[in-house]
Amino acid sequence: MFIIGELINGMYANIASALKERNKKIVQDCAREQVAAGADALDLSCGTASKNPLLDMPWLVETVQEVTDKPLCLDSSKPKVIEEGLKAAKNKTIINSTTADREKLEILVPLAKKYNSKLIGITISSKGIPQNKDQRLELAAQILDYVNEAGFAVSDLYLDPIVMPVNVAQDQMKDILEAIAEFKMLCEPAPQTIIGLSNISQGAKHRSLINRTFLTMAVASGLDSAILDPKDKELMDTLIAAELILNKNIYCDSFLDAYRKK
Amino acid sequence: METPLVLEKWPGVISTVTIGATAQEGGTRSHSLKIGGQSSMPLLFKEGANPNKPKLAFEVWDVAPSDFDEEVIKAFGKEINDPLVWAEICVNKFKAELLCLKMQGTHPDFGNKSPEEAAKFVSAFLSKVKVPLIITGSGDDSKDNLVMPACSEAAKKERCLVGSAVQDNYKTLTASVLADGHSIIAESPIDINIAKQLNILISDMGLPLERIVIDPTIGALGYGLEYAYSIMERARLAALSGDKTLASPFICFVGQEAWRAKEAKTNPEQGIMWETLTASNLIQSGADVLVMRHPKAFTNVSNYIEELFNLGS
């Protein structure tokens, strides 16, 4: 499982104030802690409150790559903000994200090619959020079509079925899990699959329990990558056990330690 | 039309273990040897690096061999009864670059030599024989825990490969190996889960994973060879996929197993073939060190390795 740490996000108070005061230490500590906890990459988002995302994003990129060479996942709905991040990046990058809308794809796919970046394609469009599996597959196919046409490697594309909060869209959970499995069958080589995990428990009680239960089910459906809180140790332990049960790692009594030594 | 080769690209690599320290490296060995370092399944030269040939070691004891097959004893002659002379024959006559010294004489049932006597013997052995050394205990856990720290200390700085740690008895040996600058043999009973667990337990004591060599326990041809083969193959696949806890080279005690087979005892040539075939099969499943008994089998396998690597390069 490719784990992207979600904690450097301007919607969290500590990061918001770090952005405001240009306090590198807060951001760098957060980066180090997530990597130590098992993150393979780090999501960077200025948050909606950022007044100056065009300056904040490259600052985040520069600040974080002073302490890690892990890939950076540039998280913004504004292509210009992403491009400022790409310009500043020395580390590998992942663009987070394009929708299935043609006008978005037309900007972000060439940008990903130009900067040799991976790309997350999220199955929503200007028409709104899909309500079932078939709509998700249709939007995924649109993204894949465009990407193929543009000559972008499908293996560098992550498809996100868009996870809805369980207390908002309980009837969609099964569809989301099935979509993860079916995305992999849309073409050969298959695209990668990804979810933003924490959304599943937005506004709910027992968030960590809901997160780790859904993640287990998603892993069993073939999920390749997730944006999550790697400092949630129970979540990480559950993920390691789930991958063990799927025979992705060889069992030993200290399998949790063994995974973390990898 | 030529069919293109399907080549796997692996993220992992087997660790490289050095055996023996020369004067420049703080020891007194004539040379040092490297094992491991592969980045592909065994002998797939086009797929990844196979930088180090498998190494053969002669098995020698600190006392005259008591349960060796007549045929092996005959090949060395009566000099085999003097361990130091036996070792010199291996090096001078049969061109061994590595020896495996088993401290059999310390076993309560085979002489019960004291730790002090054992340490003295190791010192004498090291001054007489200059090739890199593997040193193993007699297999009696409680006696080994007294003897092996003494032997390890006597060989301090010689960067030996010292064994064997097992799941229920690894702490004493690991502490000695760590203190005296050696590498360790981690032995598991044809069980990949225990092999992995033992590597973690040893590395948790502070000995780097890069100083561990796995003894997967093997069976001879007809006596479980295929079980050992598949365990080794599975461990290698996991290691190359990125599991560092299994990315250790393998040592296989071929001679002792092959000559236990009743087919090996039937006639002399068959015994030599039994040892040769067991070893050559294990090379194909990834063996990095093979501990041998009969000089003819040693030569056969040695030639086989040369041939494989000539074809590959």
- Each residue's pLDDT expressed in tens, for chain B with a length of 313 residues: 788 888 989 999 999 999 999 999 999 999 999 999 999 999 999 999 999 999 999 999 999 998 899 999 999 999 999 999 999 999 999 999 999 999 999 999 999 999 999 999 999 999 999 999 999 999 999 999 999 999 999 999 999 999 999 999 999 999 999 999 999 999 999 999 999 999 999 999 999 999 999 999 999 999 999 999 999 999 999 999 999 999 999 999 999 999 999 999 988 899 999 999 999 999 999 999 999 999 999 999 999 999 999 987 6
What residues of chain A lie within 8 A of the CB of B248, using their CB? none
Distance CA B131, CA B28 (A): 9
Q: How many CB atoms lie within 10 A of CB B298?
A: 26
Q: Which domains are present in chain A?
A: 2-229 (3.20.20.20)
Q: Is B313 exposed, middle or buried (0-12, 13-18, 19+ CB in 10 A)?
A: exposed
Q: State whether A253 and B204 contact (CB < 8 Å).
A: no
d(CA B3, nearest CA chain A) in Å:
21
Are A55 and A28 in contact by the 8 Å Cβ rule? The answer is no
Q: What is the number of H-type helices and E-type strands within chain B?
A: 11, 10
Task: Quote the pLDDT of residue A43.
Answer: 98
d(CA B245, nearest CA chain A) in Å:
7
Peptide bond into B127 cis (omega under 30): no
Q: State whether A258 and B201 contact (CB < 8 Å).
A: no
Closest CB from A250, A253, A254 relative to B246: A250
Asked if pLDDT for residue A219 goes beyond 90, the answer is: yes
Q: State whether B192 and A250 contact (CB < 8 Å).
A: yes
- Which residue intervals of A76-185 are DSSP H helices? 79-88, 102-114, 133-149, 173-183
The chain A residue lying nearest B242, using CA atoms, is A262
Q: State whether A257 and B235 contact (CB < 8 Å).
A: no
Are B167 and B194 in contact by the 8 Å Cβ rule? The answer is yes
d(CA B181, nearest CA chain A) in Å:
23
Distance CA B72, CA A251 (A): 40
d(CA A249, nearest CA chain B) in Å:
7
Mutate to test the interface with A, among B230, B245, B248 (most CBs of A within 10 A): B245
Instruction: Provide mean pLDDT across the span A135-141.
Output: 97
* Centroid of chain to Cα A162: 11
Give domain B53-312's CATH number out of 3.20.20.20, 3.90.1410.10, 1.10.10.60, 3.40.47.10: 3.20.20.20
Task: Quote the pLDDT of residue B311.
Answer: 86
Instruction: Provide mean pLDDT across the span A181-209.
Output: 95
Distance CA B247, CA B235 (A): 8
Q: State whether A250 and B234 contact (CB < 8 Å).
A: yes
Which two three-digit tokens encode residue B54?
């498998």
Asked if pLDDT for residue A235 goes beyond 80, the answer is: yes
Nearest to B272, CA basis, from B288, B262, B259, B253: B259
Task: Quote the pLDDT of residue B2.
Answer: 83
Task: Quote the pLDDT of residue B4.
Answer: 84
Element (H, E) at A43: strand A41-45
Element (H, E) at A212: helix A207-220
Q: State whether A262 and B243 contact (CB < 8 Å).
A: yes
Closest CB from B197, B234, B244 relative to A261: B244
Instruction: Give per-residue pLDDT as tens, A15-52.
Output: 999 999 999 999 999 999 999 999 999 999 999 888 89
Distance CA B134, CA B159 (A): 9
The identity of residue B91, as a single letter, is V
Q: State whether B197 and A257 contact (CB < 8 Å).
A: no
Which two three-digit tokens encode residue B288?
């990095």
Distance CA B172, CA A178 (A): 52
From residue B189, how far is each of B65, B81, B110, B211, B224 by CA, in Å?
25, 31, 24, 20, 12
Task: Quote the pLDDT of residue B312.
Answer: 78
Peptide bond into A77 cis (omega under 30): no
Are B72 and B259 in contact by the 8 Å Cβ rule? The answer is yes
Q: Which residues pair with B166 in a beta bridge?
A: B169
Q: How many CB atoms lie within 10 A of CB B246?
A: 27
Unique residue bearing structure tokens 């083969």: B229
What is chain A's alpha carbon radius of gyration, rounded to the nearest angstrom?
A: 18
pLDDT band of residue A107 (cuts 50, 70, 90) is: very high
Q: Which of A85-89, A143-147, B6-10 has the lowest mean pLDDT?
A: B6-10
The chain A residue lying nearest B247, using CA atoms, is A262
Which two three-digit tokens encode residue B16?
């490289």
Strands B33-36 and B16-19: antiparallel
Q: What is the DSSP letter of B103?
A: -
What residues of chain B lie within 8 A of the CB of A254, using their CB? 197, 200-201
Residue length of chain B: 313
Between A and B, how many CB-CB pairs are < 8 A?
Answer: 38
CA atoms within 13 A on the CB side of A3: 23
Distance CA B147, CA A122 (A): 64
**Domain ranges in chain B?**
53-312
d(CA B42, nearest CA chain A) in Å:
20
> Does any CB of chain A come closer than 8 Å to the CB of residue B201?
yes
Nearest to A45, CA basis, from A55, A57, A33: A57
Element (H, E) at B177: helix B171-180
Are A193 and A184 in contact by the 8 Å Cβ rule? The answer is yes
Task: Quote the pLDDT of residue B249.
Answer: 98
